[in-house]
Chain A
Amino acid sequence: MIEKTEFVYTTYITSTPQKVWDAITTPEFASQYWGKKNVSDWKPGSKWNMVSIDGSEITNITGEVLESRPPSRLVLSWASPENLGNKSEYSRVTFEIEGMGEVVRLNVIHDQLKAGSEMAGGISRGWPMVLSGLKSFLETGKAPDIMAIKGSCSAQSQSQAQSQAKVA
């Protein structure tokens, strides 16, 4: 029996459940604070991919939409692309989005992880960054400096270059 581990992360965001849902599931929004984008039609049984935004379109994480109840609950299976089809390497992520007056409580439960695995180590560094970035993005309209990533910078300079070209 392989030992499993799980993590639970909570953040309170001054926003609405729908905006939190959109920030997670809309590629244009996630690109701005996650450093990746999540691509799917978000219907139960559909595939979802976490994709690089540096132009390479590389899939970093893949899985299936297990449950989808916008804007309050999203459950995904979660695996590295090289483990596609190898169910024993799959973990599970649950987003619980609950409106509480002016704030939203977002719980992220990442369970069914192999204890001590590279994935468990990676996600335990990743989620706090992603959730802080999400909060900052929704509350201030921008991601913190530390989340500024090459992809979004180059996308911006590209559009700037395009507008400059138009002017010229």
Chain B
Amino acid sequence: MVVDEDKVFKALADPSRRQLLDRLHHKNGQTLSELCEGHDMSRQAVTKHLNLLEEANLVATTRQGREKLHYLNPVPINEIYMRWIGKFEQGRIQALHNLKQALQEKDQ
């Protein structure tokens, strides 16, 4: 399986799938059942979304006995990032990001 970039963008172009990635970012290594808890989506829908994320290599999995654990795999996102962001821009973009966060926190 070689992952093409289209798969990554398609996988990211869905709020439910981004939410699943957020949940793995918050707590890595969850089972299907854990990811279904407190979620409006059916088990089938979560399974479908996870398969798409796995095909795009945004989710990596390991087996622990009978359980399959899901991990956020940000490597393809990093590849996209590096494609358009050079080493000199990195610092400036980080500074802008920090400024935005600081200003937004102030507003709250």
A residues neighboring B (CB under 8 Å): 5-12, 14, 100, 103, 105, 107, 109, 127-129, 131-132, 135-136, 144-148
Contacts and interface: CB of A to CB of B under 8 A. Distances in A.
Interface residues of B, number: 23
The 3 closest A-B pairs by CB, nearest first: A8-B71, A128-B78, A10-B60
Interface of B: 1-3, 28-29, 57, 60-62, 69, 71, 73-75, 77-79, 82-83, 85-87, 90
B78 A145 contact: no
B80 to A, nearest CB: 9
A9 B2 contact: no
Given A5-B29, A9-B74, A14-B2, 4 more contacts: A8-B69, A12-B3, A103-B2, A146-B86
A12 B54 CA distance: 13
Nearest to B61: A8
B85 A12 contact: no
Contacts of A132: 75, 78-79, 82
Determine chain B's interface SS by DSSP, over half rule: mixed
Contacts of B82: 132, 136, 144-147
Given A6-B29, A144-B82, A128 B75 contact: yes
A135 B87 contact: no
28 contacts: A5-B28, A5-B29, A7-B28, A8-B60, A9-B74, A10-B60, A10-B73, A11-B57, A11-B75, A12-B2, A12-B3, A12-B57, A100-B1, A103-B1, A105-B1, A109-B62, A129-B78, A131-B75, A132-B79, A136-B82, A144-B82, A144-B83, A145-B82, A145-B86, A146-B82, A146-B85, A146-B86, A147-B82
Contacts of B83: 144
Contacts of B73: 8-10
